[in-house]
Structure 1
Amino acid sequence: MFQNNKEFPEPYGDYVVGLTEMDFIDKNRKKLFGSSENNDRKIPIIIFYPADHNFEKTKALYTFKEEAESINKATRGLVSSKSQYIKMNCYRDIPISTKQNKYPIIFFNHGYNCHMMQNSVLCSDLASKGYIVVSVGHPYETSILKYTDGQIVKANKSIIEEFKRTMDSNVNKKFKEMKKNNYIDEELLPIAADFFDYFKDTKVWDHVKIWSDDNRFIADMMEQLDDGSIPSQFEGKLNIRNGIGITGHSYGGCAASQVCLDDSRFVCGINIDAPTYGEFWDKNLNKPYMVIGSKMIEYLARTTFLKNSADSYLITVDHTTHMDFTDFIYYARQLKFLKVLGKRKKALLRDILSHYHIMFFDKYLRNNHNSEITEKLSEGIGIRWKEAVTASNNH
């Protein structure tokens, strides 16, 4: 009954997927969490990238021992720590493809107290289509991370507990009340303002800015990788001139939105099933943006869609829950019994998430205006979109 995948699905695209890890020290930001962080902020990244051959290397494993044990503990033993042995369709440290001179870049941000590989299938699908995908870690708020020198850093318990206390019964009660109504657009903004006002003096609200700054610092590092200031095989391979795309799940979706507000280098973004915690919530991002996820986003993320003056998309998927938009659908299907996962088939969920990401970034990073972003892949998918400037083409 609890049988799970021992290997993830083959990526969509024609490229082999390479995988490498790096970390960088931001000497301008020290002791962000008081006594919990005594040194400069050290940010790890995982890079998924297009390659031409696997060079007869073995497939990379999904995770490391301590991370697998952390997932096991977080799911109360329902997800085996043997998840560390799941094989990905990626190969560590193989040469980048020579088929193109440069490749467009997409950043990915995981959910709060989650892990950097939580959407490895999505990242692999994008890399197999010719994108360089950078998964960004957030020290002390990533569940557990491992630097290239082997150092292990766990999430800060006091901060995690404070986040949990913020999401108290009053919040759940408010959200349940919201869901009893189908608000038209004009009605939603004041309702959302009242809901989010509760968070504005909390770390839930403020730390989105920390995550945004992590991304902005890593964008600086990508520029140095490309110009050769930091030696690597990525020298001259990063298409920074066309701008960077960004996506993220849950709190990582909040970070993606905030980054689009904060930094002109990020030219388009996607929020995967995240509320709008952070100062961006009622701002005009003025960049192509997509919100995709469960019906929750109709209430807690529609404001981004409504406020944005550039091309905007709001895609809802019926019968899904928050974690349906992660790798859990491949190796933790038993979580359906706890209603952590919804009723949709994993192959369809993968198609939905990867398809809309590929179409969106093809259009706004590669200028492929034939991308069929508004195509419905299945029944039970709601799609709204509006075009830039006039925002009059609401569907």
Structure 2
Amino acid sequence: MHRLTRGTAAALLGLSLALLGSGATHAAPAPAGAAEHVRLELPQPTGPMAVGRDTLHLVDPSRPDPWTPQAGARELMVSLYYPARAGHGRTAPYMTTGEAQAFLTDRGLAEAVSARTLAGTRTHARTGAPPVRGTFPLVVLSPGFTVNRSTLTLLAEELASRGYVVASVDHAYESVGTAFPGGRLLTCAACEQAPVTGYAHVARGRARDVSFLLDRLTDARDPAWRHAGLIDPARIGMAGHSIGGASAVPAMAGDRRIRAGADLDGGLFGLVPDGGLDGRPFLLVGADGEDQSSWVEGWPRLDGWKRWLKVAGSGHFTFTDVPVLGDQLGLLPPEEPLSGERSQQITRAYLGAFLDLHLKGTAQPLLDGPSPEHPEVAFRG
């Protein structure tokens, strides 16, 4: 995960939307307007349920924002995905045009891909869709540093289609552009400060965000979400990409409601407590060729069920929407052997299996060892 500052993240992605962080030489950007008429689309979820989506704006009056204290209380934007009745509601937008413009500009792609093209990516969730009956495990998703929650949309939709409620979180001032109420596009104040404070500080702040989110979603008297009755508060997990995955460790250490955690290529920064995580399960999924020295250091202290997987041919952004969209735009570097299709198949399969095992109690042979269906995945532990 290990490339975190704004400038370094831009170098990671370079001139390709689908840069996976391998350090290979990347393809030049397409000519201006070349991708203008591409209709981007996320892969269809594989689960049996339709997916609904709501959006929440939450404010924590107990904490000032850690990056911009003058802005006042800490704010979060949350997309909630849930099992829904089919055939209802409108297709949910992928991101706003302002968010798309900020993302593309930060990565030097504004002339290769229009903000309208990226923002118009077709999703499969529907806003306003009535939920199905029942209660479901809750999974919190936290994105990588500098990017917003939209980059984890395919995972959120997949999990909801398989019978989870998913809360995908944007942490204020930690992406290059996230839309907040009042026409505000909050930018990455943390990008300049985090190299000084340390990235463990980012992860610990996100852990506090997640505990506040759980408080608001599971409040028996006054929950923040209209469909909060869908959530089974006894079955909560957390996963994330990059710093979002690293944040699962302090979130679990500080909040016993989180029963399982998964880190998709996020450095651990010494975050695993000496006493471990009280035997709770943890999954590490790493990219090929990334520096995983912090995992070597933290691995012995993970004291419950655990797996360390390494995906051949992958890069830092393999576990997000990025390679899927890069393939469709023709911007995936030829040096990257793992296609967008394989990237999403592997990520969905292993994260889904982990959550099904530990939040639903369903046996998952996929997690017992190497699989001929996924030869790219090696078991380190």
TM-score after normalising by structure 1: 0.79
Which residue pairs with 2:259 in the alignment?
Answer: 267
Higher relative contact order (CA 8 A, sep 6+): 2
Size of the aligned set, in residue pairs, is 338
**Partner of residue 360, structure 2:** 366
Match of 2:85 among 52, 70, 74: 52
1:310 partnered with 2:312: no
**Could you say if the C-alpha distance between residues 247 and 76 of structure 1 is closer, same or farther in structure 2, counting changes exceeding 3 Å?**
same
- 1:343 maps to amino acid: P
Distance 1:313 1:253 in 2: 14
Amino acid at match of 2:177: I
Choose from 203, 207, 211 the match for 1:208. 203
Quick check: 1:69 aligned with 2:64? no
Paired letter, 1:337:
P
Q: Specify every segment of 5 or more residues in structure 2 that has no aligned partner in the other structure, as ranges.
A: 1-29
What SS is found at the alignment partner of 2:218?
helix
The amino acid of 2:231's aligned partner reads L
Q: Deviations over 1:299-345 (max 9, x none)?
A: 33243433211100011001111011111112224553397xx3202
- Of 282-291 and 111-120, the range deviating more from structure 2: 282-291
Matched, 1:133 2:166: yes
Superposed CA deviations along residues 186-211 of structure 1, whole A, max 9, x for unmatched, are xxxxxxxxxxxxxxx73322222111
Please provide the CA RMSD for this pair: 2.2
Aligned to 1:161: 192
1:337 aligns with 2:333: yes
1:328–1:34 distance in 2 versus 1, CA, 3 Å: closer
User: Whose radius of gyration is greater, 1 or 2?
Assistant: 1
Aligned partner of residue 151 in structure 2, secondary structure: coil
Decide whether aligned partners of structure 1 residues 298 and 107 sit closer, same or farther in structure 2, where only a CA change above 3 A counts: same
1:193 matched residue in structure 2: none
Alignment of 1:230-379 (within 5 A): 230=223, 232-242=225-235, 244-280=236-272, 284-285=276-277, 286-295=279-288, 296=290, 298-333=292-327, 334-337=330-333, 342-370=336-364, 372-374=366-368, 375-376=370-371, 377-379=373-375
Q: Is the 8 A contact 2:246 2:266 kept in 1?
A: yes
What residue in structure 2 maps to residue 182 of structure 1? none
* Greater helix fraction, Structure 1 or Structure 2: 1
* Number of the residue aligned with 2:15: none
> How far, CA to CA, are the matches of 2:103 and 2:224 in structure 1?
34
Task: Give the aligned partner of residue 64 of structure 2.
Answer: 30
Q: 2:49 aligns with which of 15, 19, 22?
A: 15
TM-superposition CA deviations, 1:269-318 (whole Å, max 9, x none): 00001111253276522310000021326433243433211100011001
Equivalent residue number for residue 155 of structure 2: 122
Which deviates the most, 371-380 or 11-20?
A: 371-380
Change over 3 Å in CA distance of 1:298–1:205 after alignment to 2: closer
Match of 1:192 in 2: none
Match of residue 111, structure 1, among 126, 144, 149: 144
- Distance 1:322-1:271 versus aligned 2 partners, 3 A rule: same
Q: 1:145 aligns with which of 157, 172, 178?
A: 178
CA apart distance, 1:75: 1.9
8 A contact 1:270–1:289 mirrored in 2: yes
Question: Which stretch has the larger CA shift, 62-71 or 294-303?
Answer: 294-303
Conserved in 2, the CA contact under 8 Å of 1:293 and 1:325?
no
Instruction: Please give the alpha-carbon distance, in whole angstroms, between the structure 2 residues aligned to 1:321 and 1:128.
Output: 26
Give me the whole-angstrom Cα distance separating, in 1, the residues matched to 2:270 and 2:169.
Answer: 19
1: CA distance, partners of 2:348 / 2:57: 27
Asked if structure 2 preserves the Cα contact closer than 8 Å seen for 1:282 and 1:304, the reply is: no
Aligned in 2, Cα 1:72/1:31: closer, same or farther, shift over 3 Å? closer
Give TM-score, length-normalised by structure 2.
Answer: 0.82
Q: Secondary structure at the match of 2:308?
A: strand
1:11 is paired with a residue of what secondary structure? coil
Match of 1:97 in 2: 132
Change in Cα spacing, 1:302 to 1:283, as seen in structure 2 (3 Å) is: farther
- Give secondary structure in 1 for the equivalent of 2:91: coil
Q: Kindly tell me: are residues 102 and 89 of structure 1, through their superposed partners in 2, closer, same or farther at Cα, counting changes over 3 Å?
A: same
Query: 1:54, CA displacement in angstroms?
Result: 2.9
**Kept in 1: contact 2:78–2:170 (CA 8 A):** yes
